[in-house]
């Protein structure tokens, strides 16, 4: 009997199939049942003849999953004619082979891919249906008065966002309360828990994420028409700061230009598959955070950062009302700069009356996620461009950040999408 040596790639694609599951927005689709009785289904989302996303499902087992997974990986990024030519041999070679009696799975995957490419060609970009009646699943149908171009834009954003598990905005009623610090440390704590994380710095007044993450001076590459986020400790980061030769320039950008850039972060960035996308929103409850939330659409949850002073906690009320108006679930309130940790003795003292954030959260019937003290180590690590939780500290402040990350994961797991 022939012995078959299983390659590492094959094992990986069996245990961790890529692109598995139905795609919400697609313009190419095929479903084929092979002679073995397994049915494979594929969905393509293409733009200008290029396969932007390919997903599959199969009723088969290991080799069928590995073949669908590899076929969709090989198709993504290719032009339709090239994707349609991905053959059984290409899939087998890329997997490092399959047992002989399972090689038909690679044929089923290549046939299904070919048929999905054909479907796209037949239907063209508009799906072949009346654009007025066309639906882009997650993006819904074309809205009254919405132009075809805007609808396509929205479908494109939706197609990218479909690959992102949870989109969380970090809000604050006003600036300087530590919103970016919370966003950055939350992103790092989630990444430390093994999650795939992206971070958008949408704070167009003062994009501080590059500084807090030690990424000042980094620029963003364009590859194949896509923005490639800057990678830091496994986190994919995009900030307006990466586009400015001088950080002060952010202030003089006009609103529409800033919003255009943030829209591009959503429409044209190569985020790939993410478990969490954290968005550091502009402060306040005005037009800018409103536009950011609307651009993201279907925000999964908001974190509201406040400080203990009365003026700030009153802002929490406004932020909660803002979220409710937009139908964004409030994951919870975080009180930052609550008490002071002495760098010498580690003891804690109160600078202001603490607990206002918690009281306000209770009043507004939203969860309270924790208090972060004023800790000189946070300021120092921010200035040094090393997010506080990445320094491996197990002190009280680090534990609070990690608990917040755990709570966010728990709350997100509970909320139905
Ligand atoms: P925002 O995004 O709300 O404008 P930032 O997160 O940029 O605020 O924080 C403003 C400054 O305060 C930064 O220098 C940051 O390092 C510092 N900071 C934030 N939270 C704390 C804290 N708990 N202890 C000490 N410094 C802090």
pLDDT digits (tens, 9 = 90+) for 28-85: 999 988 888 889 999 999 988 899 999 999 999 999 999 999 999 999 999 999 999 9
Contact status, residue 322 vs residue 171, Cβ threshold 8 Å: yes
What Å distances lie between residue 229 and 66, 164, 222, 278, 409, CA to CA? 28, 15, 9, 13, 23
CA 289 / ligand 1 centre spacing (Å)? 19
Pocket residues for ligand 1 (CB within 6 Å)? 172, 175-181, 208, 336-337, 372, 374-375, 378-379, 382
Lookup: tokens for 131: 């654009």
399 alpha-carbon distance from chain centroid: 24
Q: Mind listing the pLDDT tens digit for each residue in 87-116?
A: 999 999 999 999 999 999 999 999 999 999
What residue has token string 């199969």? Answer: 58
Which residue, judged by its Cα, is nearest atom 5 of ligand 1?
A: 178
The Cβ-side half-sphere exposure at 329, using a 13 Å CA radius, reads 15
* One-character DSSP codes across 169-199: EEEESSTTSSHHHHHHHHHHHHHHTT--EEE
CA 179 / ligand 1 centre spacing (Å)? 7
CB proximity list for 74: less than 8 A, separation 6 or greater: 83, 86, 90, 91, 94
Q: How long is the chain?
A: 417
Which ligand 1 atom is at minimum distance from the Cα of 208? 7
Which residue, judged by its Cα, is nearest atom 14 of ligand 1?
A: 379
Q: Going from the N-terminus, what domains does the chain have, and what CATH number goes with each?
A: 8-146 (3.90.1010.10), 163-415 (3.40.50.300)
Q: What is the pLDDT of residue 416?
A: 45
In the residue annotation, 73 being an active-site residue is answered as no
Which ligand 1 atom is at minimum distance from the Cα of 377? 25
Among residues 323, 326, 322, 349, the alpha carbon closest in space to that of 338 is found at: 349
List phi, psi (to 5°) of 400.
Answer: -65, -45
What Å distances lie between residue 60 and 32, 37, 94, 259, CA to CA? 12, 8, 19, 45
Q: What is the pLDDT of residue 116?
A: 93
CA 181 / ligand 1 centre spacing (Å)? 6
Q: What is the pLDDT of residue 172?
A: 94
Which residue, judged by its Cα, is nearest atom 26 of ligand 1?
A: 379
Q: What is the pLDDT of residue 414?
A: 65
Which ligand 1 atom is at minimum distance from the Cα of 336? 23
Among residues 364, 360, 363, 357, the alpha carbon closest in space to that of 324 is found at: 364
Which residue, judged by its Cα, is nearest atom 22 of ligand 1?
A: 374
**For ligand 1, mutation pick of 378, 380, 390, 395 (most atoms within 8 Å of CB):** 378
Helix (H, G, I), strand (E, B), or coil: what is residue 349? strand
Q: What is the pLDDT of residue 249?
A: 57
Which residue, judged by its Cα, is nearest atom 9 of ligand 1?
A: 178
Helix (H, G, I), strand (E, B), or coil: what is residue 31? strand
Contact status, residue 349 vs residue 316, Cβ threshold 8 Å: no
CA distance 13 to 24: 22
In the residue annotation, 61 being an active-site residue is answered as no
CA 6 / ligand 1 centre spacing (Å)? 51
> What DSSP character marks residue 43?
E
Judged on CB neighbours under 10 Å (0-12, 13-18, 19+), 100 is exposed
CA distance 335 to 338: 6
Q: What is the pLDDT of residue 171?
A: 96
CA 287 / ligand 1 centre spacing (Å)? 23
CA distance 68 to 235: 28
CA 357 / ligand 1 centre spacing (Å)? 17
Residues with pLDDT less than 70, the chain:
1-2, 124-143, 153-154, 245-256, 311-312, 339-344, 346-355, 414-417
Q: What is the pLDDT of residue 131?
A: 42
Which residue, judged by its Cα, is nearest atom 12 of ligand 1?
A: 178
Among residues 197, 181, 193, the alpha carbon closest in space to that of 280 is found at: 181
pTM for this model (two decimals): 0.68
Active-site residue identified among 61, 73, 105, 412: 105
């Amino acid at each position: 009997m022939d012995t078959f040596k299983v390659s590492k790639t094959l094992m990986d694609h069996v245990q961790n199939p890529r692109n598995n599951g139905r795609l919400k927005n697609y313009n190419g689709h095929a479903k084929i049942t092979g002679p073995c009785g397994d049915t494979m289904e594929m969905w393509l989302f293409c733009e200008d003849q290029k396969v932007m996303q390919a997903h599959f499902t199969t009723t088969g087992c290991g080799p069928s999953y590995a073949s669908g997974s590899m076929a969709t990986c090989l198709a993504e990024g290719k032009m339709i004619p090239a994707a349609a030519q991905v053959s059984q041999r290409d899939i087998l070679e890329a997997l490092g082979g399959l047992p002989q009696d399972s090689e038909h799975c690679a044929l089923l995957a290549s046939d299904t891919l070919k048929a999905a490419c054909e479907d796209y060609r037949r239907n063209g970009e508009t799906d072949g249906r009346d654009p007025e009646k066309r639906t882009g699943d997650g993006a819904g149908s074309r809205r009254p008065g919405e132009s075809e171009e805007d609808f396509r834009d929205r479908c494109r954003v939706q197609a990218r966002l479909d690959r992102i598990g949870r989109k969380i905005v970090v809000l604050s009623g006003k600036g300087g309360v530590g919103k970016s610090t919370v966003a950055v440390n939350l992103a790092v704590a989630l990444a430390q828990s093994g999650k795939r994380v992206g971070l958008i710095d949408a704070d167009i007044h003062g994009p501080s994420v590059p500084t807090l993450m030690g990424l000042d001076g980094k620029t963003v590459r364009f590859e194949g028409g896509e923005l490639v986020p800057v990678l830091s400790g496994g986190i994919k980061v995009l900030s307006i700061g990466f586009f400015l030769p001088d950080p002060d320039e952010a202030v003089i950008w006009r609103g529409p230009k800033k919003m255009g850039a943030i829209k591009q972060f959503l429409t044209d960035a190569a985020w790939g598959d993410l478990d969490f996308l954290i968005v550091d929103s502009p402060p306040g409850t005005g037009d800018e955070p409103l536009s950011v939330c609307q651009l993201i659409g279907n925000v999964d949850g908001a974190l509201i950062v406040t400080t203990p002073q009365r003026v700030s906690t009153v802002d929490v009320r406004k932020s909660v009302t803002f979220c409710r108006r937009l139908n964004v679930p409030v994951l919870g309130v975080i009180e930052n700069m609550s008490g002071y940790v002495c760098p010498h003795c580690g003891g804690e003292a109160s600078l202001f009356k603490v607990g206002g954030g918690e009281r306000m959260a209770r009043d507004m019937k939203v969860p309270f996620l924790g208090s972060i003290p004023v800790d000189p180590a946070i300021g120092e690590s921010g200035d040094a461009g090393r997010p506080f939780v990445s320094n491996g500290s197990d002190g009280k402040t680090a534990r609070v950040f990690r608990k917040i990350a755990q709570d966010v994961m728990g709350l997100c797991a509970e909320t139905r999408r």
